[in-house]
Structure 1
Amino acid sequence: MIQNADFKFAGDRRGVLLIHGLTGTPAEMLLLGKRLHREGFTVHGVQLAGHCGDEADLLATSWRDWYASVEQAAERLRGDVDHLFVAGLSMGALLALLLAAERPELVDGVGVLGATFRYDGWNMPRIARLSFMLPLIKSLGFARKRVFMEEAPYGLRDERIRGHVSSAMQSGDSALAGLPGNPWHSLADLHMLSTHVRRRLERVRAPCLVAHAAEDDVANVRNAYLVVSHVKAPVELLLLHDSYHMITLDRERRLLADRLTGFFARVAGAGADSQPVLATSS
């Protein structure tokens, strides 16, 4: 049964829509949401269709359903604010980019956090690296019950936080820590989403802050450089050297939150005609 796990914080006329990753939950965006709200932003952590339930709930949805969750939430939030920003983690980063590409009138800026076009990090097994085969497997109806189980370090360099997340995942509370594994058919949809977004990156014109772990265990940093090199928008690149994939929860979560909050504040304050300077930070 799907639980309601989204969160909302009322603030000023600057809104931020936060998007979690595949098999994840809004909880992985909560600390970031609280930091943004302390600076006055109105924040909504959206819950993607099929998430915060069991594997059957997730498998009943596709990437188009996940994107529809984002688009509908953005439309609602945009009616309450003068500036709308969107930030996503992992697959959520792809959905954020897709919204900016497809609905530019809605989006004033994008936080691209640990973008995952491919599972090519140093801790990924062969099946994850061969994800391009999964859409064919899904189309043939094979392997519906197969699951790619996550393994330590679970995208977290901080051992204390890793322990908390691992315990929550094994407890079965999918609204708190998400599912412990990724169904193959859902990974197939992620691959289809990835292809769809890559073909539309040049449509992204809203300023982007691209943040990625330099030693990402799930998605190699080349995923971040793909965004930097293809979007037709001003970009700031933040490389994090003491985190793994889950950068909203890991050791540099405060640095990330500060940088993203400042980035959105500058864009909102500068107005539509001003553009941030391309920058690389370490």
Structure 2
Amino acid sequence: MPLLPGAEPFAHQGSDTGVLLCHGFTGCPQSLRPWAEHLAGQGLTVSLPLLPGHGTRWQDMRHTGWQDWYATVERELRELTGRCERVVVCGLSMGGALALRLAARHGPAVDGVVVVNPALTFPRWQGYALGPLRYVLPSVRGITSDIAKPGRREAGYDRVSLHGAYAMRQLLALVRADLPRVTQPLLVLTSRVDHVVPTSDSALVLASTGSADVTERVLEDSYHVATLDHDAERIFQEADAFITRLATRATRKTGS
């Protein structure tokens, strides 16, 4: 099946600091590629995989579930930890949920977490209806390209598979339950205006994780896909400072 433009995975071999980037639901690596290329330009080792069922056509999501999406990023994490001294996991929207699950489940293998407009909840009434509805209504209108910057588009599906939405709802429930197990340093970047994910999801992350090292930044000039929006450079800079701080701290501890 041909990929959407920009949906190709991205990988770069660099320093002993690795960064894993997780894209969002119905999106693809295109939404995070500028960030990945920036990190590679900083000399870091970078992995930006394509989640199964994404980056092709919305019908393909019917044949995948959250277990497939999580298995993909978990495999990339293991590969990075085998090559790097430290690994930071990052994610946009549902990718933020995947990053948080990796941190909760893999503990010391993850040195830090960066999430941008993380998705953690699902509208209650829609969620209850998804179970039976997904068998009679295959899809609804898409949710991509919530971007304030004129002329910018997100490569993603124009329809949302209800089977995929049901799988995401299952994932988000598991991640919410696991938040207290996230104890790594955490950077949360939240758009002031987001038409896809409520800002209260970021507040839930801030209130529920077990991390004692939490930084919050509000993005004033971007919508949901902030990594392609006006605040993209700020996201890159904030993440750079966060990753540098973690690397410096690790160096001091080892005395090297």
SS at match of 2:132: helix
Partner of 2:23: 20
Q: Is the aligned partner of 1:236 residue 2:236?
A: no
Alpha-carbon distance in 2 for matches of 1:129, 1:256: 31
- State the Cα deviation string for residues 11-56 of structure 1 (Å, max 9, x = none): 1000000010011111111111112122221111111112112223
Q: Is the aligned partner of 1:266 residue 2:245?
A: yes
SS at match of 2:11: strand
Partner of 2:49: 46
- State the Cα deviation string for residues 218-257 of structure 1 (Å, max 9, x = none): 1121111100011111110011010000011000100011
Q: Is the aligned partner of 1:111 residue 2:114?
A: yes
- The Cα RMSD (Å) is 1.9
2:172 corresponds to which letter in structure 1? Answer: S
Partner of 2:135: 142
- State the Cα deviation string for residues 39-77 of structure 1 (Å, max 9, x = none): 221111111112112223211000111000010111111
Alpha-carbon distance in 2 for matches of 1:205, 1:185: 32
- Written as runs of structure 1 = structure 2, the 5 A alignment for 1:31-70 is 31-70=34-73
Give the 3 Å change call, closer, same or farther, for CA 89–99 of structure 1 in structure 2: same
- Aligned structure 1 segments of 4 or more residues deviating by more than 4 angstroms: none
Q: 1:5 aligns with which of 4, 8, 14?
A: 8
- State the Cα deviation string for residues 181-235 of structure 1 (Å, max 9, x = none): 2111211111111111000000001111001101111112111110001111111
Partner of 2:84: 81
Alpha-carbon distance in 1 for matches of 2:152, 2:243: 27
TM-score normalized by structure 1? Answer: 0.83
- State the Cα deviation string for residues 248-281 of structure 1 (Å, max 9, x = none): 100010001110111011112112998xxxxxxx
Partner of 2:179: 201
Q: Is the aligned partner of 1:90 residue 2:89?
A: no
Q: Is the aligned partner of 1:131 residue 2:122?
A: no
Q: CA deviation at 1:134?
A: 4.2
Contact kept, 8 Å, 2:14 with 2:44, in 1: the verdict is: yes
Contact kept, 8 Å, 2:139 with 2:159, in 1: the verdict is: no
Contact kept, 8 Å, 2:19 with 2:90, in 1: the verdict is: yes
Contact kept, 8 Å, 1:204 with 1:231, in 2: the verdict is: yes
Alpha-carbon distance in 2 for matches of 1:106, 1:132: 33
Q: 2:194 aligns with which of 200, 211, 216?
A: 216
Contact kept, 8 Å, 1:93 with 1:116, in 2: the verdict is: yes
Alpha-carbon distance in 2 for matches of 1:58, 1:2: 15
Q: CA deviation at 1:129?
A: 6.4
Contact kept, 8 Å, 1:148 with 1:183, in 2: the verdict is: no
How many corresponding residue pairs? 249
Unaligned runs of 5+ in 2: none
Alpha-carbon distance in 2 for matches of 1:101, 1:54: 31
Alpha-carbon distance in 1 for matches of 2:129, 2:65: 14
Q: Is the aligned partner of 1:159 residue 2:138?
A: no
